[in-house]
Structure 1
Amino acid sequence: MQDNAKELLPLVDEAGHIVGCATRGECHSGSGLLHPVVHLHVFDDSGRIFLQKRPPWKDIQPDKWDTAVGGHVDYGENIDDALKREVREELGLTVFTPHFIRRYVFSSNRDRELVHVFAAITTESPKPSAETDGGQFFTTEEIAEKIGTHFFTPNFEGEYQDIILPWVKQQEINKQKI
């Protein structure tokens, strides 16, 4: 398997408005072309977070642990449909309620993404597809032990520390007020 460098992706401005299109290969060439992606952080009812292992054939960050679901929005596809498609393709989950957390720009030397971050709690067992190299649930303690060791993708580490952990803490505060 390999990534499809000819896959057509929308180009967007930082507000998410479509301004053009380009191939995946062009977007991942260091061009700085901003393209939208979706991320879903999947939790079980005990608060563990499911992560996928990126397969060795991926063009970016192979063999690293990453967000449960992460994928490009196809040209002509909206964010919600892209999220549902990616979740179905990567984890086989069909029953989940995604909670939008926020959107931000992630830049690396290879690409520039407008990331739409979602979270969901599932009672279904994720079934990682051939698009991944497997997956498993991690506790917050297990993740903390591995941060900064090159075990995770840099994108996951930043997103987890800056967005997901504060969101989880806010959810716990909200539960206490009920």
Structure 2
Amino acid sequence: MEFLDLYSESRQKSGKIIQRSQKVPKGSYRLVIHVCVFDPNGKMLIQKRSQSKKLWPGMWDVSVAGGVKAGENARQAAIRECQEEIGADLNDLIKGQPDFSLSFSEGFDDFFLVTLAGRPESLAAQKSEVDSLCWASKEEIMEMIQSSTFIPYQFSLIDLIFALNKDHSIYQLNSQSCEFENSESV
């Protein structure tokens, strides 16, 4: 039986836990991680979720995703989920903080972006959770979302994931820098 920590709106642990299968109480939030694994050419490893999954069975998803268990932080959960779902030890690649975080009605989504050389055949997908793995371009993922074979993420989220993986910055790297009259206030 898995338990999840509950968080406040300001993302502080509340000291309360729930079973994973329970609905998150109003005014409380949970933490979910997503790990987007890229190859050196910029393609993302995607997984086809097992037909036995309660949510989105048989659909394609980002490389790894899962709930943060009670007592874990997001990085620990990301490392654990990578090991469990795709058989990859990414301890050295997953940074201490996520690359970006988003809020949803019941919690917070933390996204970690990593680059890994290799073929999906060399990974060991956990058959109870993952049917298959493959590399996909942003365009291929967008087509899969349109054809309802990929979890229906917002297109802008997929754009953001690929853009941040490429530049590792929220700023356009090819833009001119701005100079302010009073740079101390920036």
User: Could you say whether these structures have the same fold, taking a TM-score greater than 0.5 normalized by the shorter chain as the test?
Assistant: yes
In 2, Cα distance between the equivalents of 1:11 and 1:158? Answer: 28
CA deviation digits over 1:51-91, x for unaligned, max 9? 11111111111111111010111101122211111111111
Sequence identity of aligned pairs in percent?
27
TM-score normalised to structure 1 length: 0.79
Q: 1:93-104 to 2 correspondence within 5 Å?
A: 93-95=88-90, 96-98=92-94, 100-104=98-102
Question: Structure 1 residue 46: deviation in Å?
Answer: 1.1
1:15 partnered with 2:10: yes
Q: 1:68-107 to 2 correspondence within 5 Å?
A: 68-95=63-90, 96-98=92-94, 100-107=98-105
Structure 2 counterpart of 1:132, from 130, 133, 141: 130
Task: Report how many residues are paired.
Answer: 166
Q: Is the 2:145–2:151 contact (alpha carbons within 8 Å) kept by the matching residues of 1?
A: no
Question: Structure 1 residue 148: deviation in Å?
Answer: 2.5
In 2, Cα distance between the equivalents of 1:74 and 1:17? Answer: 15
Unaligned runs of 5+ in 1: 1-5
Higher share of residues assigned helix: 1
1:64 partnered with 2:59: yes
TM-score normalised to structure 2 length: 0.76
Structure 1 counterpart of 2:164, from 151, 167, 173: 167
Q: Is the 1:66–1:156 contact (alpha carbons within 8 Å) kept by the matching residues of 2?
A: no
In 2, Cα distance between the equivalents of 1:83 and 1:35? Answer: 15
Structure 1 counterpart of 2:37, from 35, 42, 66: 42
Structure 1 counterpart of 2:148, from 135, 142, 150: 150
Q: 1:84 to 1:8 in 2, by over 3 A?
A: same
What residue number does 1:119 align with? Answer: 113
Consecutive aligned runs of 4 or more in structure 1 exceeding 4 Å deviation: 30-33, 171-175
Q: Is the 1:51–1:136 contact (alpha carbons within 8 Å) kept by the matching residues of 2?
A: yes
